[in-house]
Structures are given as C-alpha cells and as structure tokens.
Structure 1
Amino acid sequence: MTLPLSLPAFRSRIVPVVVITDPKQAAPLADALLEGGIDVIEITLRHPAALAAIEAAARHAPGLCVGAGTVTRPEEAQRVKDAGARFALSPGMTPALLDAVQAAQLPFVPGVMTPGEVMTARDAGYGLVKLFPAAQAGGLNMLKALAGPLPDMRFCPTGGVSPENLSSFLQQPNVALVGGSWLTPADVLTRGDWATVTRLAREASAQAQSLAAQAGA
C-alpha cells in the first residue's frame, strides 16, 4: 500500500474555511491572513469561482499554504492540484476519492464522523482526519471519547468551532488543528474589509500562541 503524502509545512493551527465567490478576492484575502499571522487557507469548492480563486491565491502568495476544501468527487483531486492547491480536505471519504488523491499525489485530510470512519481512514494510512461536522458529531466530548480507543489518531475539527471554544479545542491533546469560517465572514469578503480579516486572524493567532506558550512553560 502506498502511504498518503504528509501535509505541507505551515505554522498555524487554525485553518480558515472560505467560500470565495469572486477570484479577485483571493489575493487581498491572502495578504490579510498572512498579516494576521495565519499561513494556511482552505478554499472550498462550494462556488464555481473556487478553482480560479485557488490559482489566484497560490500564485499571489507563495507564503500561504493553499488547500482545497469540499473535495468530494474523484475528478476534483487533479483539478485542485493543477490549480495550485498544496493539499485537500473533504467532509467525508470514499474508496474512489482516496484512490484519486493518491493518483494525483495530493496530500489529503479525509472527513470522518464516526469511530468506524476513523478506523477506515487509519487503515488507509491517514493519521490526521477532519471531524465534520464537529458540533453535530459531538464536539469536544466526541474527541475525548475517541482518544481512548484511537489514541494514535489526530483530528481537525471543523463545523462549530468559534472564538468562544477555540481554546478548548486546541487544548484537546488529539486535536492537531482546527478549521473555522468565523475568520472570513461572507459579508466581510463581499465588501472587501480586509482589515477586519486581519484583526480576526490576529486575535485567533494570539489565542493559539498563548496556549502554546502555556504548554511550554
């Protein structure tokens, strides 16, 4: 069995989950996130502009690790890689999708919601999975419960993560990173309020850095 590729390196434990409706938003959004201390993004395939936005962000900001989200069909794996995505995430997984990301040589974070799905992902060689939708799956309580029988797995909870519970998620030992849409509200992107994106990114980064400092103390 060919093992999945590791994720590319990035510092942030917070992955903004973004729906971009106009590719022109991609470059200033990338700059705003980097200025706020976040060097990774998940641009979801929930809008026809997504591939062009991935390409624009990857070309404009090499320092931003651009990922493609909501990758649910096998044919999308090669398309997002060709557009410039350095990794992909999905709300779930199928055998055909796992085969496609392997064929495309694309680092991948499969989505899970149940212990059986976590075990399936582990059997396929994945040590990091996306718990989605995290709130509906049980949130922190689910992550704590999974830590017992599956201590070797790490999670990226997405769906229900907010500034109010961010610290609780990041302090959970089996959480490697989190995904969240609060950093890039749709109305903020529409009006091009990049200063607000930078502020939200900086606040989230400060929370993560504070936790890291406490853990290392």
Structure 2
Amino acid sequence: MQDQHLSHPAFQSRVVPVIVLSDARQAVPLAHALLDGGIDVMEITLRSDVALDAIEAVARALPQMHLGAGTVTRPSDVPRVIDAGARFALSPGCTDALVDAMRATGLPFIPGVMTPGEVMRARDQGFTLMKLFPAQQAGGIGMLKALGAPLPDVRFCPTGGVSPENLRDFLALPNVAMAGGSWLTPADALRDGDWARITRLAREATALAQGQ
C-alpha cells in the first residue's frame, strides 16, 4: 500500500456495487453472492441506520472481501467506519476537514468530484483516484473524455447512472479505473433474499468488465 490517500485496496473487480441495506442480516449472504459472481469489492453506504452493523458483519465473516464504506461525508464518520472494519472509504464530495480526518487515520479514501476545478483541487491534495459523482449529471462519458486531455494523471470511479447498458463504454476509457453502480443489488432481491439473482448480475457485470 502506498501513501494512504493516493492509493486504494488491490481488489480485482472493476465493478463496485453501491449498496444500501435495510437489514444488517442481509450483508453477509450478499457478500457471498457477490464473491460467487466474481466481484471482490463492495461499497456499503452510510445511507441507513444499519450500515455500520452491516460493515462489521462482513468484515468479520469475509475478510477476503474488499469492504468500502460509502457516503462518508463528515469527519465524525471516519472513526466509526474504521471501528466497523471498513478497509477504505468513498465520499460523494471532498472537504478539507474530511481529507484531514482521513489523513490522520491512514484509511484509503476516494473523494468525490464533479467539475474540473474540484478535480484539480483534489489532485493538489494528493489524490489521483477520484469518484466522479453523479457521473451522468456531470456529463458522463463525454465529461470523462474531456477531463482526460488536461488532467491525464487522474483516474476515476464514475458512479451515478452507470448501468449494464453503458458499463463497458465507461470502462473502456483510459482514465476510468472502475465504475460503481446500484443495479447489482436490487432492493427487491435484497428483500426476498434472492442471492442467486445477485450472483447472476455480478457474473454478467464481471463479463462486461472483461469485455466478454
């Protein structure tokens, strides 16, 4: 691992499921289903009251899963996700206070950006991997192509509007390291415990990412 805020865990998948859970008991079977589908990373977002319990459950049961905490927006979130067992963190944005909190802990961090100015500011803070969010509203593939020319040393994880229909196009861009999406974990599949469906979606996304 390099300097913490310049790097990210060495997971294999180029597709990052963005997950909102309503029941922490869903977390471990969900993680198994994703692994069975070839995805070794998951972003459990802090958008529900059970998120920290879910992160803790996966961290204990499946240490081989590269477990990220998403929607980290306040410095006070940082020690909480570390205590729960998250191995990296992602945010829809980037503030000085949040960056300082991350640097103080050593937790790898992928900050969110939307404009060229935000990209340049995050790069000045030492980041070379950023989350373009919301990707489609920010300009999607066209924006990423436009950013690549003046800022060739920055790579992105676009999230927001990524789907099976455009995943391959996003991942084909040289400045896209990975892409995040919520389609891999549909709310009804989680509710029904339809882990086979989630494994199938993961396999399909893995095949798309590999250009198959």
Structure 1 length-normalised TM: 0.95
Which structure 1 residue ranges, 4+ long, deviate > 6 Å from structure 2? none
TM-fit CA distance, 1:60: 1.0
Tell me which residue corresponds to 1:98: 99
TM-fit CA distance, 1:3: 6.4
In percent, how many aligned pairs have the same letter?
Answer: 69
The one-letter amino acid paired with 2:32 is: D
Tell me which residue corresponds to 1:164: 165
The one-letter amino acid paired with 1:20 is: L
Q: 1:26-46, CA deviations, whole angstroms, 9 ceiling, x for partnerless residues?
A: 110010000000000000000
Q: 1:149-178, CA deviations, whole angstroms, 9 ceiling, x for partnerless residues?
A: 101100000000000000000001100000
Structure 2 length-normalised TM: 0.97
Report matched runs for 1:59-208 at 5 Å: 59-208=60-209
The one-letter amino acid paired with 2:25 is: K
Asked if the contact 1:5–1:106 (Cα under 8 Å) also holds between the matched residues in 2, the reply is no
Tell me which residue corresponds to 1:214: none
SS class of match (1:74): coil
Asked if the contact 1:129–1:156 (Cα under 8 Å) also holds between the matched residues in 2, the reply is yes
Q: 1:76-95, CA deviations, whole angstroms, 9 ceiling, x for partnerless residues?
A: 01110110000000000100
Asked if the contact 1:3–1:125 (Cα under 8 Å) also holds between the matched residues in 2, the reply is no
CA distance, structure 2, for counterparts of residue 42 and residue 135 of structure 1? 19
TM-fit CA distance, 1:210: 2.5
CA distance, structure 2, for counterparts of residue 88 and residue 127 of structure 1? 15
For structure 2, the residue ranges without an aligned partner over 5 or more in a row are: none
> CA RMSD for the aligned pairs?
1.0
Count of aligned pairs between the two proteins: 210
The one-letter amino acid paired with 2:23 is: D
Asked if the contact 1:5–1:105 (Cα under 8 Å) also holds between the matched residues in 2, the reply is no
Asked if the contact 1:183–1:201 (Cα under 8 Å) also holds between the matched residues in 2, the reply is yes
Asked if the contact 1:78–1:101 (Cα under 8 Å) also holds between the matched residues in 2, the reply is no
The one-letter amino acid paired with 1:208 is: A
The one-letter amino acid paired with 2:90 is: L
Report matched runs for 1:23-34 at 5 Å: 23-34=24-35
Q: 1:151-206, CA deviations, whole angstroms, 9 ceiling, x for partnerless residues?
A: 11000000000000000000011000000000001111011100000000000001
SS class of match (1:142): helix
- In 2 relative to 1, CA 83–185 (structure 1 residues): closer, same or farther, beyond 3 Å? same
